[in-house]
């Protein structure tokens, strides 16, 4: 593709690129400033990497209108270079292509009662259990297990070794990365005579359209009813979701987040890495939970919280400052005590030696 064509692609999604350089220059790849070679287009979004502009071998760079760049570089100037490069990666490279294999009963185990949609690919080593439904164009990679009565939508993508326990429901275009487990039993036990009596976990998990789940996650089935992950939500890796928890739409969860059971998470919520949330609370719409926060109380809509126990970010930042100044505060109190003692001594001596306190 040429730089002119890349600019057209940006204009097609409503951006207003300004090109400096040769519109006919051919571009083969998108690359980082550091890795780029001739024929690559690169980008600068985070000012931290501005120095790399001086040394990059890229043929062209996407960057903000106000950033200086060496004269030999061709430039595409846009307001939001990160969004622009996303568009260009999609245009130049596209999404992963999946090898299609014809169904082969010798290397897969598809139960005779299962219904497999048109053009779905079931890779070797997959086991599809009783009464499963799989949509059109789904791709199920080797080593996946799909339990009884699961219902899987169109264009679903299960990477290797994904396990779906019975009755799991996946909407259309759901993507689940390797070695993630959906629908295992949660930690449901009742204490009886100092031992733990298992409570049958008879609910299930529902994952709505366009959700993407990272690798190595575990999402408990509900004890009763459903655990739900809302439409368009994206999870990173090694995330644990407790039984009966409801996660809203278009949320973003970073790696190693852990949500206990019976939590309600609103829409458009961001949880940073290693966040923990206790059971039976609500995290409101558009809330943001900072990395490593431990959320122990419900969070209002739109609030940003931080710390363990988590509190609004403004208060947390104040606390951090105050904690850092604790040694100084200590010294000031000691100084006060010294001066007060001295003052009392002087006062007493002025008063003629009468003891100041009885």
Identified binder of its own copies from the candidate list 242, 248, 266, 284, rule CB under 8 A: 242
Q: Least distance (Å) from its own copies to the CB of residue 3?
A: 18
Q: Provide the sign of the torsion angle of the four alpha carbons 29, 30, 32, 33, taken in this order.
A: positive
* 12 forms part of the interface with its own copies (CB under 8 A): no
* 160 forms part of the interface with its own copies (CB under 8 A): yes
Q: Least distance (Å) from its own copies to the CB of residue 230?
A: 12
Gap between the Cα atoms of 84 and 229, Å rounded:
29
Identified binder of its own copies from the candidate list 143, 153, 248, 284, rule CB under 8 A: 143
Gap between the Cα atoms of 15 and 4, Å rounded:
14
Q: Among the options 123, 177, 243, 268, which is catalytic?
A: 243
* 250 forms part of the interface with its own copies (CB under 8 A): yes
What's the CA angle centered on 277, arms 276 and 279, to 5 degrees?
A: 140
Question: Per CB under 8 A, which of residues 284..303 are in contact with its own copies?
Answer: 291-292, 294, 296
Which residue, 77 or 228, has its beta carbon nearer to its own copies?
228
User: Applying CB under 8 A, which part among 15-23, 68-76, 114-122, 177-185 lies near its own copies?
Assistant: 177-185
User: Applying CB under 8 A, which part among 18-26, 52-60, 65-73, 117-125 lies near its own copies?
Assistant: 117-125
Cβ–Cβ under 8 Å, residues 226 and 204: yes
Identified binder of its own copies from the candidate list 56, 121, 168, 256, rule CB under 8 A: 256
Cβ–Cβ under 8 Å, residues 36 and 55: no
* 264 forms part of the interface with its own copies (CB under 8 A): no
Question: In the annotation, is 243 catalytic?
Answer: yes
- Cα 187 to its chain centre, rounded Å, is 24
Q: Least distance (Å) from its own copies to the CB of residue 159?
A: 7
Question: Per CB under 8 A, which of residues 55..114 are in contact with its own copies?
Answer: 82-83, 86, 89-90, 93-96, 99, 107, 109
User: Applying CB under 8 A, which part among 19-27, 59-67, 113-121, 238-246 lies near its own copies?
Assistant: 238-246
Cβ–Cβ under 8 Å, residues 283 and 267: no
The total of other beta-carbon atoms located within 10 Å of residue 259's CB is: 27
Which of 127, 130, 172 is closest to 152 using CA atoms?
Answer: 172
Q: How far is CA 122 from CA 76, 99, 197, 310, in A?
A: 43, 11, 39, 45
Binding residues with its own copies: total (CB under 8 A): 123
Which of 78, 72, 71 is closest to 19 using CA atoms?
Answer: 78
Query: H/E/C letters for each residue in 96-148?
Result: CCCCCCCCCCCCCEECCCCEECCCCEECCCCEECCCCEECCCCEECCCCEECC
* 44 forms part of the interface with its own copies (CB under 8 A): no
Q: Least distance (Å) from its own copies to the CB of residue 89?
A: 5
* 225 forms part of the interface with its own copies (CB under 8 A): yes
Residues labelled as active-site residues: 243
């Amino acid at each position: 593709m040429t730089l002119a064509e890349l600019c057209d692609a940006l204009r097609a999604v409503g951006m207003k690129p300004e090109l400096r350089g040769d519109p006919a220059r051919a571009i083969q790849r998108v690359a980082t400033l550091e890795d780029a070679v001739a024929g690559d287009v690169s980008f600068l979004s985070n000012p931290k990497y501005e120095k790399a502009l001086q040394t990059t071998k890229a043929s062209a760079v996407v960057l903000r209108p106000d950033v200086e760049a060496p004269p030999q570089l061709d430039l595409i100037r846009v307001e939001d270079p990160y969004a622009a490069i996303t568009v260009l990666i999609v245009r130049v490279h596209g999404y992963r292509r999946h090898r299609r294999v014809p169904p082969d009963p010798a290397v897969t185990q598809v139960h005779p009662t299962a219904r497999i949609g048109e053009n779905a690919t079931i890779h070797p080593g997959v086991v599809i259990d009783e009464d499963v439904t799989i949509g059109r164009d789904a791709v199920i990679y080797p080593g996946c297990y799909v339990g009884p009565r699961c219902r899987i939508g169109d264009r679903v993508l299960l990477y290797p070794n994904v396990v779906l326990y019975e009755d799991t429901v996946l909407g259309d275009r759901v993507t689940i990365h390797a070695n993630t487990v959906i629908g295992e039993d949660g930690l449901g036990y009742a204490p009886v005579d100092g031992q733990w009596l298992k409570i049958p976990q008879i609910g299930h998990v529902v994952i709505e359209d366009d959700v993407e789940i990272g690798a190595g996650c575990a999402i408990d089935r509900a004890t009763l009813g459903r655990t739900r992950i809302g439409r368009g939500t994206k999870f990173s890796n090694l995330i644990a979701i407790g039984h009966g928890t409801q996660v809203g739409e278009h949320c973003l969860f970073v790696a190693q987040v852990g949500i206990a059971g019976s939590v309600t998470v609103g829409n458009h919520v961001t949880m940073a890495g290693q966040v923990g949330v206790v059971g039976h609370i609500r995290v409101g719409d558009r809330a943001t939970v900072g990395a490593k926060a431990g959320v122990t109380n419900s969070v209002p809509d739109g609030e940003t919280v931080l710390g363990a126990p988590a509190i609004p970010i403004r208060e947390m930042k104040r606390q951090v400052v105050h904690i850092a100044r604790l040694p100084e505060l200590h010294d000031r109190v000691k100084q006060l005590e010294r001066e007060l003692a001295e003052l009392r001594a002087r006062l007493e001596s002025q008063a003629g030696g009468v003891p100041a306190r009885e």
